[in-house]
Amino acid sequence: MGEQQLVEIAKALSKSARILIMDEPTSALSPAECERLFRIIRQLAADGVAIVYISHRIDEVMHLAERVTVFRDGRHVMTKHMAGTDENAIISAMVGRALLDTSHEVRAIPGGDTVLSVERLSLSRPDRSGWRTLLDGVSFDLAAGEVLGIGGLLGSGRTEILETIFGCAEGRTGGEIRLDGAPVEIRSPREARRLGIALVTEDRKAEGLHLGASITDNIALPLVSALSRFGLRSMSGEKALAGDAVKALVIRCASIEQPAGTLSGGNQQKVVIGKWLATRPRVLLLDEPTRGIDVGAKREIYDLIFRLAGEGLAIVVVSSEMPELLHLSDRILVMTEGRQAGLLARAEASEERIMQLAAPRRGDARTAA
């Protein structure tokens, strides 16, 4: 996703345009790539290019913009010069109310039993020169009620960890995965789901949803067989399941028959999460769970993650947003060039420490024979 985003930005920059509209350009980028893009934006503005920059990341708007315009529910609610406003005013205009503080939650350190153990996880794929190593020797334990964050730069192997655990990674895999101490082989998402593992992918439109299908169809999809009787779909059972998910996750929609593609980004993400929660997983893998959604929906998903962890669900969160990673995680696994660079407890984690570990070092990139 991050590399695709960089290609799209490069294509737009190659047009020598007088007006450049950028819609969530940093949603899939790491902090280093974001800062590089910001330098380009400032240079383009200095050269006379008019730029419309659309983002849910308030710090970016504060950092780059000369004026800010806020829309809410399709209506214009505010336009101000940056010199005459602040972050709280922008957030209040976006969500229609003051937002709760998103500083790190004070939670008891989970002391539940180990649910998931990963030992020496590896992944490699063929290329022109042989086999390219994407993961090498990744190991960690995940306890019931714990939120384990995974951080690192673009291409560091974060998504590949989740895909390998879920059985959908392309290539040659190795290592051992254990659930409740017992070794398991996960060769497909079907097997992962049967074992109680769920994955919310980073690209909800391409991989997480059937955009033309209804909310009901999307939420019921993993459980169609379980809900069916004598080979026939239980429409009442599917509607009841969808209705419960809409109520529990506060999915804003006209009805449960509304096509998923017509929902806002935040509500689409809630449908994806609701679909997997309906399977009653024991391990929930979240890849960029708040990408491209507004601050109100982001806060709701944070609250949901904490509530699920409080109920004993073991959760892994991959995020490119450093404040989000620090806010959500009990521990943080830092990746660099496909390898585990460190595993930080909450008390020792900071943006500076994570970036020190995540920065590639000379000789890190390797190719398997």
CATH of the domain at 85: 3.40.50.300
Q: Is 106 within a domain? A: no
Q: Is 26 within a domain? A: yes
Task: Determine the Cα–Cα distance for residues 139 and 343; give it in Å rounded to an integer.
Answer: 10
* pLDDT tens-digit map of 47-68: 999 999 998 788 889 989 999 9
Q: Is 108 within a domain? A: no
Q: Is 107 within a domain? A: no
Give the burial class of 58: count Cβ atoms within 10 A of its Cβ; 0-12 exposed, 13-18 middle, 19 or more buried: middle
- Whether 335 and 197 share a structural domain: yes
- Whether 91 and 135 share a structural domain: no
- Whether 24 and 76 share a structural domain: yes
Q: What is the pTM of this model?
A: 0.78
Q: Is 100 within a domain? A: no
- Whether 62 and 167 share a structural domain: no
Contact at 8 Å (CB) between 164 and 346?
no
- Whether 250 and 124 share a structural domain: yes
- Whether 209 and 81 share a structural domain: no
pLDDT computed for residue 273 by the predictor: 96
Parent domain of 42: 2-95
- Whether 192 and 281 share a structural domain: yes
Q: Is 183 within a domain? A: yes
Q: Which helix (H) or strand (E) holds 198?
A: strand 197-200
Task: Determine the Cα–Cα distance for residues 198 and 284; give it in Å rounded to an integer.
Answer: 5
Task: Determine the Cα–Cα distance for residues 95 and 181; give it in Å rounded to an integer.
Answer: 44
C-beta neighbour count of 193 within 10 angstroms: 19
Which of 68, 95, 122 is where one domain is finished? 95
Tokens (6 digits) for 295 = 């601050």
DSSP-derived secondary structure for 147-180: EEEEEESTTSSHHHHHHHHHT---SEEEEEEEET
In total, how many domains does the chain have?
A: 2
- Whether 61 and 140 share a structural domain: no
Walk along the chain (369 residues) and give the pLDDT tens digit of each residue: 777 888 888 888 888 889 999 988 887 777 778 888 899 999 999 999 999 999 878 888 998 999 999 988 788 999 999 998 988 888 788 777 555 444 445 565 666 799 999 999 999 998 877 888 999 999 999 999 999 999 998 789 999 999 999 999 999 999 999 999 999 999 999 999 999 999 999 999 989 999 999 999 999 999 988 888 888 989 999 999 999 999 999 999 999 999 999 999 899 999 999 999 999 999 999 999 998 888 888 899 999 999 999 999 999 999 988 889 999 999 999 999 899 999 999 999 998 899 889 876 644 444 333
